[in-house]
Each structure stands twice: as structure tokens, then as C-alpha cells.
């Protein structure tokens, strides 16, 4: 994704390079120093630091280097500067829902390129939900034979009750995910796979009815929202959760693995003889406690292989294994609760970081998950504080960073994804890097930066008149 046909050569000892890269252990993991002079020098400890220095160097260059059509660069004139920089937060993430609408390997890799330009370093892939299962599991083949195919989807808003009557399908093979992982790694982005259980499981239950709580044959859900159908807490369903998570984790060596845990409705468990028997065996008095069995099973298969377990904040309602990374999405106070209980947390509060919400209250905005007043303009994102209100100073070390979410019930095309992501991700990137300041100053920079995104073919949402 570059207009410049760079020719990279390592020069000899008696030759003068254009760019000199030095490894310096004095820097933090992602920190760097960039000095632009007759010879441009980059100092960093890691590949990520070098990558961010080169990204900074690119920002200093003319707009021509931001196109997508390669051209031979003879020379570039840059200002003489010295920049020493590094991020404030280690987790600077973006979530992409590939379950509600499937995204090709090429589209995911393009998105990785765009978040890497903004020095965001985590891509959270939401690989399953009620409306589709998107990763092949060899020991459970019906997950993709049945679960990856939805016969219809809502047309317009869910509440309109109109369907498109078009099949939507797709899934990733192990090779596909390896291609995505390697592409991300080359951009210093870590992929975080998510298998969301025990709720959001209707596609899995459609494939394997014995995992559910009803004798009725279910289909992959053709509605948005939250299905009432969840995994039963019996031995086979718990084993299934462990098997699937273990396999997917193996495709992403060393990565944290998200185990979901959100929006698990317990109505079926109240009526299920299996669930009630498991409750009795464990001495539970609240059906929500059953979710802890899944959290513990999935965490147990991840730990021996060196994977950190990540979960949505609902898991705090039941038993949570020590060391689980909590993703606080319902409200900022859930981040405070997690930290006070000794858990590290990634802040993802929906009122600031859910980019499936509308960009503005204008009637011209595309159909979104929530109506006005649930609006998140880029200005609001820029005012987001990663440290949640009410968090004691002594607990700030538990805040790993923050993450923006792109749920795709109402996002089905690349241009629409661009529109919902940018410029809000631009604002988010400065917040999590730690350099956000006056809104007026940022807007001036943003107006310039949108020209770069336009050169890259990004269908961003234009700024409203100031």
C-alpha cells in the first residue's frame, strides 16, 4: 500500500546510506528516535519501533507517497527534525466482526494496513456468532458445513422486519488465517482471535444440536440482536468449548485469545434439566454462575500453551480465573471493577469506542445499530479518556490500553466499513498513543491526514463544516 517503488539496499562500510537504522536497548518496546538530516537515522529496540519511525517519516513526506500506484522515487525533500516518541498504552486495538458479515482475506489484510498506518497494534477478529461460524475446525466439520451459511439477513434496520432472502456465507481455513497472521506480523500488528461462548452460539447449535438446550432443530440465525439459544453446561458442550478454543489458539502462536462471555442469556438454563443438575452439583444458586464453568474450561486449555485469556466484562458476574484480561465494554465502571478485583483491563466502553454507532445525528447517516441519541462523532472519540472515571491512581497499572469496535450487522461493504472507521480511528489512535490535545489542533492535522487516506483509496466520512 505505497505509491513509492522503494529500492532497499544494504550499503557497504565505505558508503553513505540514506537511512541508518540502529538497534538500541535503551528504548522501550515500541519507542523510537528519528533524526532527519543528511543521513536519516532511526534508533529503536524492536521492529515495531523501527516501523513506527518509518511511519512518522512517511508523514513528513509529500502526499505523493500515499498513493496506491507504484512510482519510482528519485528523491524526497524532508524537513530536518529530531523526534523521540513512543506509545502511552501497550494495547491499541481494533475489533472487526467477521461473523455477521464475512470479510475476505484481502479485505482483512487491507484493514490491517490501514490500522498499522495509525500505529494501532492489535486486530481482534470476532470469528463466530449466532449469525455465522467463520473458522474451520477439523474435529467439528459441521461448524462450517452448516454454521457458516445464513439463508437470509435483515434488509435495512432489524426493527423494519424486512429480509433480503439472500444467502450469506464464508469461512477461513487454517491457511487463510495463517496468511492474515503473517501479514499482520509484517505490519507489527498482533491478531487476537475470538471464539465467543457460551452465548452467541446459535450457529454452532444449528450445526450440533446436542450442544444446545432444546430438541428443536435450529438454523443459523437470520436476525440481528441476541439469540436466546446458548450452549448447555453439560460435559460435551464444555468439551466442545475447550476443543475449539485450543485449536484456534494453535493457529496464533503466542497471541492472547478472546473467549467471549458476553450477553449470555440464562432463560434456557432456568428451564433445562441438564443445567439445573449442573447447578446442583456445583452448589450454584444463580444461573449466571454456570458461565464461569465455560470461562474456566477455555482458560484452562489456553494457559499451558502460553496464551492469555481475554473476555468481555460479563464474566465478572461469575467465577473468573486469575490472569484473565477483561475487556470493559458496557460502561467505564466495569473497568474500575475489574481493576479493583486485581484484573488487567482493556477499555472498550460502547459510548466512546463502538464505531457501529452513527457518526452524527444527521438523517443522511446510513442505517446503524442504534438510533439517535446514540451517536459517536470523531470529536467525542477524541475526548475519550482511557483511564476510567473513578479509578484510583494506584490501580492505573491495570489498564493495558483501549480498543475500538466495528460490529458489522449493518456494515457489509468495504466502503461502508471505511466510512464507519475513519476518521474516528484517526482520533482513537492519538488517544491511545497518548498525544491527544486540543481538538482544534487535531482537526487541523486531521484535514491534512484525510488527504493521505484519500490517496490510499479510503472512503472515509468527510468532516462536517467547523
DSSP code of 367? P
Stated as kind and residue range, the H or E segment containing 19 is: strand 19-23
Can you tell me which residue has the cell 466502553?
349
Report the C-alpha gap between 332 and 345 in whole angstroms: 11
Q: Which three cell numbers stand for residue 208?
A: 450440533
The size of the chain, in residues, is 466
Catalytic residue, candidates 85, 263, 319, 365: 263
Closest CA to 422 of 395, 404, 398, 396: 404
Q: Which three cell numbers stand for residue 422?
A: 475513519
Residue 188 zone, left/alpha/beta (φ > 0; ψ -120 to 50; rest): left
Report the C-alpha gap between 59 and 71 in whole angstroms: 18
Report the C-alpha gap between 392 and 209 in whole angstroms: 47
Catalytic residue, candidates 33, 97, 129, 313: 129
Stated as kind and residue range, the H or E segment containing 445 is: helix 439-455
Please tell me whether residue 396 adopts helix, strand or coil conformation.
helix
Catalytic residue, candidates 200, 307, 436, 449: 200
Q: Which three cell numbers stand for residue 206?
A: 444449528
Does the annotation mark 263 as catalytic?
yes
Does the annotation mark 25 as catalytic?
no
Q: Which three cell numbers stand for residue 364?
A: 443522511
- What is 271-311 written as a DSSP string? H-HHHHHHHHHHT-SSGGGGHHHHHHHHHHHHGGGTPPEEE
Report the C-alpha gap between 35 and 85 in whole angstroms: 12
Rounded to the nearest 10°, the torsion over CA 227, 228, 233, 236 is -50
Spell out the residues 6+ positions from residue 362 whose beta carbon is closer than 8 angstroms to its own: none
Is residue 406 a contact partner of residue 420, using CB atoms and an 8 Å limit? yes
Q: Which three cell numbers stand for residue 346?
A: 482493556
Does the annotation mark 129 as catalytic?
yes
Active site residues: 129, 200, 263
Amino acid at each position: 500500500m505505497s505509491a513509492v517503488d522503494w529500492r532497499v539496499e544494504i550499503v557497504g562500510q565505505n558508503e553513505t546510506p540514506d537511512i541508518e537504522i540502529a538497534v538500541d536497548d535503551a528504548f522501550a518496546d515500541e519507542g523510537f528516535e528519528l533524526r532527519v538530516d543528511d543521513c536519516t537515522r532511526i534508533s529503536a529496540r524492536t521492529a515495531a519501533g523501527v516501523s513506527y519511525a518509518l511511519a512518522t517519516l512517511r508523514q513528513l513526506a509529500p502526499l505523493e507517497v500515499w498513493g496506491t500506484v507504484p512510482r519510482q522515487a528519485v528523491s524526497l525533500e524532508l524537513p530536518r527534525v529530531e523526534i523521540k516518541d513512543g506509545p502511552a498504552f501497550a494495547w491499541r486495538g481494533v475489533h472487526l466482526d467477521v461473523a455477521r458479515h464475512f470479510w475476505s482475506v484481502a479485505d482483512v489484510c487491507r484493514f490491517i494496513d490501514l490500522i498499522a498506518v495509525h500505529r494501532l497494534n492489535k486486530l481482534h477478529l470476532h470469528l463466530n456468532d449466532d449469525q455465522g461460524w467463520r473458522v474451520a475446525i477439523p474435529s467439528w466439520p459441521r461448524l462450517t458445513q452448516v454454521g457458516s451459511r445464513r439463508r437470509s439477513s435483515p434488509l435495512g434496520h432489524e426493527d423494519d422486519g424486512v429480509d433480503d432472502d439472500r444467502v450469506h456465507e464464508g469461512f477461513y481455513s487454517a491457511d487463510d488465517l495463517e496468511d492474515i497472521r503473517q501479514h499482520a506480523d509484517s505490519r507489527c500488528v498482533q491478531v487476537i482471535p475470538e471464539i465467543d461462548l457460551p452465548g452467541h452460539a446459535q450457529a454452532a447449535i444449528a450445526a450440533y444440536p446436542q450442544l444446545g438446550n432444546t430438541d428443536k432443530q435450529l438454523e443459523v440465525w437470520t436476525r440481528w440482536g441476541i439469540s436466546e439459544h446458548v450452549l448447555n453446561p453439560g460435559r460435551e458442550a464444555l468439551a466442545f468449548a475447550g476443543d475449539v478454543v485450543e485449536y484456534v489458539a494453535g493457529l496464533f502462536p503466542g497471541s492472547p485469545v478472546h473467549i467471549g462471555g458476553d450477553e449470555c442469556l440464562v432463560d434456557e438454563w432456568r428451564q433445562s434439566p441438564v443445567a439445573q443438575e449442573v447447578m446442583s452439583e456445583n452448589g450454584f444458586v444463580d444461573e449466571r454462575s454456570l458461565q464461569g464453568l465455560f470461562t474456566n474450561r477455555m482458560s484452562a486449555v489456553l494457559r499451558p500453551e502460553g496464551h492469555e485469556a481475554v473476555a468481555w466484562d460479563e464474566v465478572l458476574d461469575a467465577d473468573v480465573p486469575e490472569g484473565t484480561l477483561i475487556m470493559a465494554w458496557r460502561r467505564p465502571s466495569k473497568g474500575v471493577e475489574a481493576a479493583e478485583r486485581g484484573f488487567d483491563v482493556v477499555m472498550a466502553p460502547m459510548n466512546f469506542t463502538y464505531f457501529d454507532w452513527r457518526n452524527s445525528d444527521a438523517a443522511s447517516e446510513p442505517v446503524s445499530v442504534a438510533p439517535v441519541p446514540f451517536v459517536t462523532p470523531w470529536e467525542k472519540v477524541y475526548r475519550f479518556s482511557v483511564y476510567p472515571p473513578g479509578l484510583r491512581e494506584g490501580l492505573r497499572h491495570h489498564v493495558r490500553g483501549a480498543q475500538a469496535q466495528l460490529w458489522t450487522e449493518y456494515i457489509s461493504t468495504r466502503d461502508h466499513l471505511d466510512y464507519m472507521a475513519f476518521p474516528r480511528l484517526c482520533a482513537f489512535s492519538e488517544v491511545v498513543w497518548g498525544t491527544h490535545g486540543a481538538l482544534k489542533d487535531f482537526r487541523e492535522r486531521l484535514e491534512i491526514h484525510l488527504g493521505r487516506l484519500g490517496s490510499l483509496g479510503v472512503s472515509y466520512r468527510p468532516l462536517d463544516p467547523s
